[in-house]
Structure formats: structure tokens, C-alpha cells
Structure 1
Amino acid sequence: MTVRRLFPLALLMTFALASCEKEETALPAQPAALLQSRWQLTQIDNFPVTASSYSETGKSYLEFVELGTCTVGLGPCNNFSGRYSLAGGGQELRITPQIATRAACPVQDLETRYLDNLALTSRYEISGDELRLYDATAPAPRLLFRRTAP
């Protein structure tokens, strides 16, 4: 290929990559706390969650990755990932249905409830080191998490 043919392609790629840069904007305190933490799952509806099926050290968690608005985590059985969006001054939270690996385990029903509840999330609250996720219909949180070190 000649330089003349490569120049338009190089110019197009430069513009495309420039549009992917992360915006440097200050986040309000609540979203910053949400995004800069790993959240260990402690409760699904009224059911306490103490460990995953992996091991005592492999606890179920959720992380919100600011760049790309992605979620990553570990359920009681499988790793998962998806997307999220914040709105309404930061208190509204929408989480897409998560894509999970497909390892079967004895607590598969619990993991299904966890992933289903994530997809129903409409808002969140952070109080101290606790994250509460709510759906649009229930006054009580559907999921509870505790902040842990990543």
C-alpha cells in the first residue's frame, strides 16, 4: 500500500481513538464512592450470603468500572460482567442483565436471584461502608454489599 492510501485510514483511526479518551470531571461524593470500591455481597433479599462456592477467600462481589461504565463481579458460582448507568444526580442506577460464565454449582438458584436483582436495580444508597441496591417496586433493598479492599 502506498502512503496516500494509508493516510486517510491513519487520520480516521486518530479521530476514533481521540473520542475514547476519558473525561476528567469531578464526581459527586456518592458516585465516587460507588465507583472507587469493591462491594462484597452480604445479602440477597432477606437471605444472608457468607461465601461463594469457590472458596472462603473467593467471596461474591461487584465493582463499577468508571471508564466504559462496566460492571464486573463474582457471583456465588460464576464471574460476570455487564454495563451500568447513573442518572438523576447520581442516585439513580441502572444495571444491564449481566453476562456470566456457565459453571454449575450447588447454589445456582442463589446466583440467579443475585443476577436478576442486579438487572432490576433502579437506585442505590451508600451509608458508611454499606451499599444498598433497590428496585422500583420494593421499599427494602434487594441487595446489600459491604465495601472491601480490591
Structure 2
Amino acid sequence: MQTRPLYSLACLTALALCGCAKDSTSVLTDKRWMLVQIDDFPLTLSSYSPTTQSYLKFAADGKRTVGLGPCNSFSGQYSLGGSGQQLSISAQAATKATCGGQNIEDKYLTILPLTARFEIVGQELRLYDASAAQPRLLFKQAPQ
């Protein structure tokens, strides 16, 4: 009976499968996620300039968020839950400038700490609150 070739094949298969899996931290972190939609309202640009768009970034340390709303930069904390898609985001501390997009920014910063889970589909990050079937915030990954 030749068990050695079967054992080697099983080990190689297991290594290949493990190498393909990405943990939830690595798919979120050190990417700039550009805000493209709040609830059913699509967004395009920030009030900063015609080329600057609101974004959210998760630091690789697994703790800090930084971002830009239509009017202000902000930062806070985040944590990932055990199931891989659970995500908790703290209330964000923001600078205090006002602009024409203030109501949009207020909604953005109000919804962020309601986040209970996330989903990544292709280059899209979707944030859900505990009760929503549809994402509350939708982001697209910025080109690297």
C-alpha cells in the first residue's frame, strides 16, 4: 500500500487551499475605500476639490480608522469580530469646517458607528448596520 504519495498530495492540497484564503483584516486594511453611496444616495466628489473624494481607511494595526468626509477629515477606532465579517466602528472625531455637503457628511459620520458587519465583493466594500438588508455605506477601492 502506497500511503506516502497520498499523504504528500493531501499536504500539498491543504497548503494550496490555506494560501488562497485571506483573513478579514488583510482585505480591509491599508486600502483607501472611496465613498460612493450613502443609503440610496450616490456620491461623486468631496467639497475639498474636484479631484478629492470622501474615503475611509482601516489601519493595519487593527485598531484605527482615518478618513475624509465631504467637509472634514476624521479618525477613530475599529474592531473585527470573530465571525470574519463582524465589524464595529467607533464614533469618529472630525475637524470642524463647514461646507455645502455638511448634511451628507453628518449622515456619513452618523451611519459609520452603526456598522455591524461588512462584505467585500470585487472592489466594493459594503457596510451594514444590524438591521439593514441593504448596505448603508458603499465604497469602491481606490487604485493602488
Matched, 1:49 2:54: no
SS at match of 2:35: strand
TM-score normalised by L of structure 1: 0.79
Matched, 1:136 2:133: no
TM-score normalised by L of structure 2: 0.82
Q: How do 1:61-100 and structure 2 match up within 5 A? A: 61-67=55-61, 69-100=63-94
User: What is the Cα deviation at residue 58 of structure 1?
Assistant: 1.2
Equivalent-residue separation in structure 1 for 2:84 and 2:31 (angstroms): 16
Equivalent-residue separation in structure 2 for 1:133 and 1:42 (angstroms): 12
Assess if the C-alpha contact under 8 Å between 1:41 and 1:60 holds in 2. Answer: yes
Equivalent-residue separation in structure 2 for 1:47 and 1:68 (angstroms): 29
**What residue number does 2:28 align with?**
34
Provide the aligned C-alpha RMSD in A: 1.4
Equivalent-residue separation in structure 2 for 1:70 and 1:106 (angstroms): 28
SS at match of 1:113: helix
Q: How do 1:100-139 and structure 2 match up within 5 A? A: 100-139=94-133
User: What is the Cα deviation at residue 77 of structure 1?
Assistant: 0.6
Which amino acid in structure 2 is aligned with residue 77 of structure 1? C
Q: How do 1:15-30 and structure 2 match up within 5 A? A: 28-30=22-24
Equivalent-residue separation in structure 2 for 1:73 and 1:139 (angstroms): 25
Q: What are the Cα deviations for residues 33-90 of structure 1, in whole angstroms up to 9, with x where unaligned? A: 1113110000000000100000121110000002261000000110000000001232
Q: Structure 1 stretch 85-94 or stretch 120-129: which is displaced more?
A: 85-94
The number of residue pairs the alignment matches comes to 124
Equivalent-residue separation in structure 1 for 2:93 and 2:135 (angstroms): 22
Equivalent-residue separation in structure 1 for 2:143 and 2:92 (angstroms): 23
